[in-house]
Amino acid sequence: MTTPGEPEAPTVPHPALWAVLYRSSTPFWEAVARHELSLQRCSGCKTWLMPPRPMCPRCQSAESEWVPVSGRGKIHSWVTYPESPHPAFEAPYSVILVELDEGVRLVSNPSGIAPEELEMDMPVEVVFEDVSDDFALYKFKRAG
Amino acid sequence: MQMLEEYRTKSYRNDLRPPVDANLVKDKTAIVGIGQTAYSRNAERDELDLACEAIKKAVDDAGLTMADIDGLEALTLDRVSMPTLIGSLGIENLRFTSEVSFGGGGACALVMHAAAAVATGAANYVVVYRALNEASGHRYGRGDGYAEYLTAAPTLHYGYYFPYGFLTPLSWAAMYTKRWMHEYGIKLEDTGWYSVVLREYAQNNPDAIFYGKPLTIEGFHESPMISAPLRLYDCCVDTDGAAAVIVTTADRAKDMPHAPVYIAAAAQSSPIETEIQTSYNRPIVAGLPETWYVGQELYRQSGLGPADIDVAQLYDPFSYGAMIQLEELGFCGPGECVDFCLGGDRIRVDGDLPLNTSGGLLSEAYIHGVNLVTEAVRQLRGTAYNQVADAETAIVTAGPGLPTSGLILRK
Amino acid sequence: MPLEYVPGIPILRPYVDPDNKPFWDAVDRHEFVLQRCSNCDVFLQPPRPMCPHCLSMDSLEWVPSAGRGEVYSFVVFEADRMAYPGMKIPYVVVLVEMEEGVRLTANIIDSEPDEVYIGMPVEVTYNSPMEGLTLYQFKKRAS
Amino acid sequence: MTERTLKDKTAIVGIATTDLARDGGRTEYSLACEAVTRAVEDAGLEMADIDGIVKDISDGIDPMYLQKAVGIDNAQYCSDSHWGTSALMTGATAIAAGICNAVVYYRCLNGGSGRRAGNDFRAAREMQDEGLDLLRYDFYSPFGLLTPDGLAAMTARRYLHVHGIDADQVGWIPVVASEYAAKNPDAVFFDEAIGLDDYTRSALRVDPLRDLDCAPGVDGGLAIVLTRADRAKSLRQKAAVVMGVAQGTSTEGELLSNYSRPDIAALPEVRLMGEELFRVAGIDRGDINVAQLDDRYAPYVAMQLEELGFCERGSGVAFCEKGERIRVDGDLPLNTGGGFLGGGFTYGLNVIEAVRQIRGTSSSQVEDAEISLVVSGAGGPADGLILRRD
């Protein structure tokens, strides 16, 4: 019998596969799967919407467009996990917050940058890694 | 402690309740905006999207802008997270939020909690909403979904039901309905009129899921038995959609586009030994004490009685769930509700008690009862598809058979 | 037709925690116990950590029950929509009022749906739907 | 016409905690029952007087099951609030609006031993299942940003960077918390006070947050009873009158991961909530005698001091440096029971300490404390109370 203190040994999918639960974000992930970075923008007042959403918080318009972006930006903040909370991630690993040139911020992982090399405002650009046949992740490497 | 003594002896203790003259909700708060999405079997949009549309329409209906909104009330069951919703709507600062549990039992409590907030200055304009993809998404009411993500019952008490294949709200309700029929000698062949009349209402309501699909009493009795005594057409219609209302103070309401619909009373009740449809260890299983408590409190606050009510919107997850409420709310005696609905005339638009005039949860849509609140508002504005002539007072209830809530609204 | 399970679909297990573990441990041993407050001489179902009448946490005890009662109400699962896919329809869930006064649900495992009626005398029995799971159930009893 | 306000309408008249422990081995159900009955007894009320139940949405025990065990016959107001201790505000609206007479708030968790540890992936996944913030997690969990500690660390690094703060100086916050906790028999952690060296030597939890920056989980239950202020006078305890109560949210707000707003090193919810709170109470921040701020994460204490106007932007850590200002005889005695850092992360413990200061029963009593501030929910939607002596 199950007791609450002792959960079943879980078969854990990669956390990436938890994504795309909301329809609003589907176009974003579909573009990433094609190795493109595309962001949602309000058709009315041209506000960038990240995370994606069905309505613009500035003008309450429900019309939006998906705009390909360069994928260039700089590091706005980062954290490093000395111990992994999940088997899919090997510690130590870092999570970065990237501010894109468009002003939108994305959480991601550094690609080819060791935790101790990370610096505030380091210029980075997007790269893509396939997770499965139809799902990819965006990461950021040092800008060339 | 005498368990449910007031209910068992049908003697409501006014002295236990706060004095009516201290009640700041009664007549001092109002509903000033309503909004809804299309109701469908498959919206092809997520709940966040639906919620945004319904809320925007309610805000527009009230003649407000999103910047005026400073309160938000949701069901805990709602899959839309509040921060995400706030981020989509662009509300700068909510001064008040709260959530109500108990699923459909919370539908009117949402309005009541919002009213308490505006009555005490905690907020000026509170949005109440419900968004769900019950038809196309995860279905709360179905047994087959559970096997996918559960290996054990999620709580102690469900451990006494789930291992026995007993895990759907309608089947839980069938258990007490069967007992109620047994105790009052209800004949199955007399039932069905409730469903037929609601379907008639839906024929005039183009928003209703069953618009254009009438039902005869013969058709009802030919519909498949889902779980005796419940037939398919005893049950509510799974829906994708959202509905929202705006609550504010009565004095603000005076200067708004629509005539205010005042809250004459608002009540919630969670009686002891209540569970979600499985309250089998209460002294009386063949009844709905939570609805009785809510009714008594509504009548105490409003000073009205059943005879003063012009139109009723009673939460109907299944036909008997609404009909037994007629007894608990004093519209008929114990065991008389099937007779009350026999032939349907009493509950039609020109009857003694026009009931669920939009088609209710059975035939309009299942928006967890928030669509019953919007229909009550339309009746009191005089804009319902099945308008009750000169309707001045409406009673609205939330889900029966679990901690519930109710409202009396007036012009 | 006795109760039948669908192979390959696990039955959902009870939730066991310190508040009700003695109950399910007893079921594992094919024993039936009920929770009672010794102060108030009141039986409590579902089990709980405190007696609602005297607010004592120490007076709660587990007492053996003969497991006898009568069907108080019942539901026949006839449609897939309501049923658990791990059980073959039709199956019956009975709500049984025990001699002690509390009511419990389980399946009736030895009766056809049309044999079951309100007032039917039943008693506790046990089954094991799958490896490592024992449940209490009800079967008919001579009155 | 009646004035629409929550000022002085309600009072906290009963408080209780169960034993708090790192690993209690009891169910949340059992903890809730004990805490609620003890709080009602503390107030000098009978269970029959309770007609409202409010709690946090993440709390496992539903009011229906609480009622079954503690014997509340009919609850006329039940609310599940979403964050911090905001349920106390909904309870206050219910009483002030004349819907019910007395509301019990409860919280019970197995944060030390159980599934709500929050910082393992199962709990993170569970949060998703509960639909707390599905959309936002989509953009974090794929990159291993899975835990509240990690979400907070991202903000903390930016905060330290923007204001050029020496990270080691944040340690004064846990140091002073440990001093308070060592005096408080209810505080599970810190049998004795630590020094700044202990802080700088403590392990990195998620760089830049150290273990000692993060409030640990705890097993236990607590309950708080709220009733009408006029009725409170005749009850057993010295009443803590709710002089002000408020909530605050802001756009682009999330739970700890507010990365899309212009300045992520800020807590606009706390600022907005604080403005409303002082407006409702009709007092100035200078009138506050003692404060309990949300120290789930130590750097957030500094940010709250700034947002509430106790110091300039970027100077919150300096405000706490050496601890003099925030000790019991300082300008602003802060988290006098040891906070969440010393007592374990359980919203409501902070309110209980704020009430004790009003009653004069704190283990680190501020002399003549008349007005007591408590804030919850830093890093997400915020809420707060100002309590005063009757």
Confidence of residue A19 (pLDDT cuts 50, 70, 90): low
- pLDDT tens digits for range B8-29: 999 999 999 999 999 999 999 9
Residue A1 touches partner B, C-beta closer than 8 Å: yes
| Cα–Cα dist C77/D123, whole Å | 35
Contact C16 B159 (CB under 8 A): yes
Tens of pLDDT, residue by residue over B362-374, are 999 999 999 999 9
CA A41 to chain centre: 17
**Summary mean pLDDT of chain B:** 94
Read off the amino acid at residue D55. Answer: K
Q: Residues B233, B293, B366, B385: which is the catalytic one?
A: B366
Residue of B46, B88, B151 with shortest CB distance to A55 = B88
Q: Residue A59 burial by CB count (10 A; 0-12/13-18/19+): exposed, middle or buried?
A: middle
Strand B29-36 to B240-249 pairing:
antiparallel
Question: Subunits touching A (CB < 8 Å, at least 3 pairs)?
Answer: B, C, D
| Digit-coded pLDDT (tens) for C23-54 | 999 999 999 999 999 999 999 999 999 999 99
B60 touches chain A (CB under 8 A): no
pLDDT digits (tens, 9 = 90+) for D114-126: 443 334 334 444 4
Cα distance between residue A50 and residue D370, in whole Å: 45
- What residues pair up with B34 in beta bridges, in sequence order? B245
| Candidate from B253-257, C101-105, C128-132, D82-86 with smallest mean pLDDT | D82-86
ipTM here: 0.92
For the segment C9-25, the average pLDDT, to the nearest whole number, is 93
pLDDT at D22 over 50: yes
Spatial separation of the C-alpha atoms in residues D29 and D290, rounded to whole Å: 33
Q: Where are the domains of chain B?
A: 5-136+237-410
- Mean pLDDT within A5-17: 48
CB-based contact B182 C73, cutoff 8 Å? yes
Supply the angle between the helices D298-307 and D148-162 in degrees, to the nearest 10. Answer: 60
| Rounded Cα–Cα distance for residues C90 and B130 (Å) | 35
Query: Which residue out of D31, D50, D66, D70 would a mutagenesis test of the C interface target, given it has the greatest number of C Cβ atoms within 10 Å?
Result: D70
**Closest-CA distance of chain D to residue C57, Å:** 8
Give the pLDDT confidence of D205-252 residue by residue, as tens digits. 999 999 999 999 888 999 999 999 999 999 999 999 999 999 999 988
CA atoms within 13 A on the CB side of B5: 8
Domain ranges of chain A: 18-68, 70-144
Residue A22: per-residue pLDDT: 63
Mean pLDDT of C63-80: 94
Q: Are B406 and B376 in contact (CB under 8 A)?
A: no
Contact D390, D241 (CB under 8 A): yes
DSSP E strands in chain C: the ranges are 33-37, 42-44, 60-64, 68-77, 91-98, 103-107, 121-130, 133-140
Distance CA D89, CA D84 (A): 11
Query: What is the model's pLDDT at position C87?
Result: 93
**Band (A6; pLDDT cuts 50, 70, 90):** very low
B152 touches chain A (CB under 8 A): yes
Min Cα separation A4/chain C (Å): 7
pLDDT greater than 80 at residue D1: no
Which CATH number describes the domain made up of B5-136+237-410? Answer: 3.40.47.10
**Under an 8 A CB cutoff, do D145 and A84 touch?**
no
- C132: nearest CA partner in chain A: A1
Structure tokens at B394: 């409406």
Residue C33: the pLDDT is 98
Query: A11 CB near a chain C CB, below 8 Å?
Result: no
Identify the pLDDT of residue A47. Answer: 94
The DSSP secondary structure of B374-391, one letter per residue, reads HHHHHHHHT--TTPPTT-
Phi-psi region of D252 (alpha: psi -120 to 50; beta: other; left: phi over 0): left
The residue-averaged pLDDT of B282-295 equals: 96
Q: Identify the residue with better confidence: C81 or B191.
A: B191
Provide the shortest C-alpha distance from residue B5 to chain C (in Å).
13
Q: Does C102 reach chain D within 8 Å, measured CB to CB?
A: no
> How much helix, strand and coil, in percent to the nearest 5, is found in chain A?
10, 40, 50
Phi, psi of D359 (to 5 degrees): -75, -20
**Cβ atoms of A105 and A76 closer than 8 Å:** yes
Nearest to D69 among C17, C18, C50 (CB): C50
* Chain C neighbors of A1, CB-CB under 8 A: 13-14, 16, 24, 132-133
Please tell me which residue of chain A has the smallest CA distance to C16: A3
pLDDT at C62 (0 to 100): 98
Measured in angstroms, the CA of D265 and the nearest CA of chain C are apart by 42
Chain A residues 10-29 within an 8 A CB cutoff of chain B:
22-24
- Where does A70-144 sit in CATH, by number? 2.40.50.840
Q: Indicate the DSSP class of residue B309.
A: -
Domains assigned to chain D? 10-112+220-226 (3.40.47.10), 240-389 (3.40.47.10)
How far is it, in rounded angstroms, from Cα D124 to Cα D151? Answer: 12
A8: chain B residues, CB-CB within 8 Å: 151
Average pLDDT, chain D: 91
List of E strands, chain D: 10-17, 52-56, 74-75, 77-81, 102-110, 204-206, 209-210, 219-228, 240-248, 290-292, 371-376, 382-389
Residues 6+ apart with CB under 8 A from D197: none
Centroid of chain to Cα D21: 18
Is the per-residue pLDDT at A79 higher than 70? yes
Active-site annotation holds for B315: yes
Q: Is B314 exposed, middle or buried (0-12, 13-18, 19+ CB in 10 A)?
A: buried
- Of B214-223, B315-324, D34-43, D246-255, the range with the lowest mean pLDDT is D246-255
Q: Which residue has the higher pLDDT, A23 or A13?
A: A23
Whether omega before A123 lies within 30 degrees of 0, making that bond cis, reads no
Please give the residue of chain A at the shortest CA–CA distance from B87: A57
Q: Look up B366 and say whether it is catalytic.
A: yes
pLDDT tier at D272, thresholds 50, 70, 90: very high
When pLDDT is averaged across residues D373-389 and rounded to a whole number, the result is: 96
* A131 vs B234, residue with greater confidence: B234
Question: Does the pLDDT of residue D133 top 60, yes or no?
Answer: no
Determine the pLDDT at residue D108.
Answer: 87
A106: helix, strand or coil: strand
Other Cβ atoms less than 10 A from the Cβ of C10: the count is: 15
Cα–Cα dist B50/B43, whole Å: 8
Six token digits for residue D350: 């902070």
pLDDT at residue D49 tops 90? yes
Cα–Cα distance measured from residue D159 to residue D205, given in angstroms and rounded to the nearest whole number = 17
Smallest CA–CA distance, residue A39 to chain D, in Å, is 13
Determine whether the interchain pair D147/A85 forms a contact, defined as Cβ–Cβ distance below 8 Å: yes
From the list B123, B116, B74, the residue with the least C-alpha distance to B94 is B123
**Which one from B7, B315, B320, B385 is the annotated catalytic residue?**
B315
pLDDT class for A17, splitting at 50, 70, 90? low
Q: Going from the N-terminus, what domains does chain C have, and what CATH number goes with each?
A: 16-65 (no CATH), 67-143 (2.40.50)
The per-residue pLDDT for D131 is 39
Residue B301, pLDDT > 50, answer yes
Write the pLDDT tens digit of every residue in B148-173. 667 888 788 888 999 999 988 889 99
> Which chains border C (3 or more CB–CB pairs < 8 Å)?
A, B, D
Report the pLDDT value the prediction gives residue B142, as an integer from 0 to 100.
Answer: 56
Interface test with C, best of D18, D26, D30, D45 (most C CBs within 10 A): D30
